[in-house]
Amino acid sequence: MYKLNEKQDFEYITFPLFDKYDNLLNCFTTRKGGVSQGSFESMNIGFKTGDIAENVKRNIEIMAEKVGIDVADIVGTSQTHTNNIKYVSEEHKGRIFSNSAFKEVDGIYTDRKNVALMSFHADCTPIFFYDPYKKVIGLAHAGWRGTLQNISGIMVRAFVKDFNSNPEDIITVIGPSLGQCCFEVDGDVAKLFLAEDEGFKNYMEIKGPKYHFNLWQINKYLLMKEGIREENIEISGLCTKCHNDMFFSHRGQGGKRGLMAGILMIK
């Protein structure tokens, strides 16, 4: 499930499971409403994409204003396909415009108000976490490598360890990313997954020499293994490649693409 929101030409997605909490700001941007051109048209929020830096900076300013966050409050992930996660707070704010970005941190979490967590995506799965009782949020970038290394489970365990969260309370969203329709890999990747957990075979379809993975269901399975309740897992159901008009897609654009942002903040 998802909700498409429009503020003039800026369009962004929010998630019904999160929308009911007034103190929680959730957002996944689309490619609509920015100033970038060509393959980056138009709301590209990633500096390391080959786009003009001034345009990316302007896009982030536009996005922040539309969504209702202060650019200075943003803490971004670095995204190198690891399963490393990090607790962040006020001292980490503003890293998005500096050269002091985290190295090898694919997931961030906080219990602080007005710390806007941001991750970057163009096919890789964003996973959002919220414990409404302990007031903790987390955001992870889970491509197939992060999924294989169970970054979702690691985030849940961090909530439990650091904040005494009960997994049954944690609400999660698996956001727009490659669907099973478009996530195709070779047998060697399938082997890696099956070596990790044979249960993954239920979420793979063999199509000739290729395997089609359902990374949404695999992440849901991993979350449920940690004790997350099924009704607390929302899958947006939006494939970024199938909806290349709405989203940037690495596979859909031959690698020449911008990036969308996942955003989560406690107000």
Residue ranges that bind Zn ion, judged by CB under 5 A? 179, 181-182, 239, 241-242
The CA distance from 131 to 112, in Å, is 13
Please, what is the end-to-end C-alpha distance for the chain in angstroms? 23
Tell me whether residue 104 or residue 205 sits nearer to Zn ion (CB atom). Answer: 205
Please name the helix (run of DSSP H) or strand (run of DSSP E) that holds residue 226, with its range, or none.
Answer: none
CB 71 within 8 A of CB 51: no
Smallest separation (angstroms) from Zn ion to the CB of 240? 8
User: Between residues 101 and 246, which has the closer beta carbon with respect to Zn ion?
Assistant: 246
Which strands, in side-by-side order, build the sheet including 184-185? 184-185, 210-213, 204-207
For Zn ion, which is the closer residue by CB, 150 or 177?
177
Q: Look up residue 232 and give its two tokens.
A: 């607390």
Tell me the closest approach of the beta carbon of residue 45 to Zn ion, in angstroms. Answer: 22
Judged by beta carbon, residue 130 or residue 183, the one nearer Zn ion is 183
Q: Which of 43, 67, 79, 60 is nearest to 246 (CA)?
A: 43
Q: Shortest gap between Cβ of 250 and Zn ion (angstroms)?
A: 13
Best CA proximity match to 239, nearest among 183, 157, 164, 168: 183
Nearest approach in angstroms of CB 216 to Zn ion is 11
Of 176 and 258, which CB lies nearer to Zn ion in the complex structure?
A: 176
Taking the complex as a whole, how short is the minimal distance between the CB of residue 90 and Zn ion, in angstroms?
39
- Pair 49, 249: CB distance under 8 Å: no
C-alpha closest to that of 180 among 146, 149, 203, 208 = 203
Comparison of 116 and 239: residue with beta carbon closer to Zn ion: 239
Rounded Cα distance, 224 and 89, in Å: 28
For the bound state, the minimum distance from the C-beta of residue 94 to Zn ion, rounded and expressed in Å, comes to 36
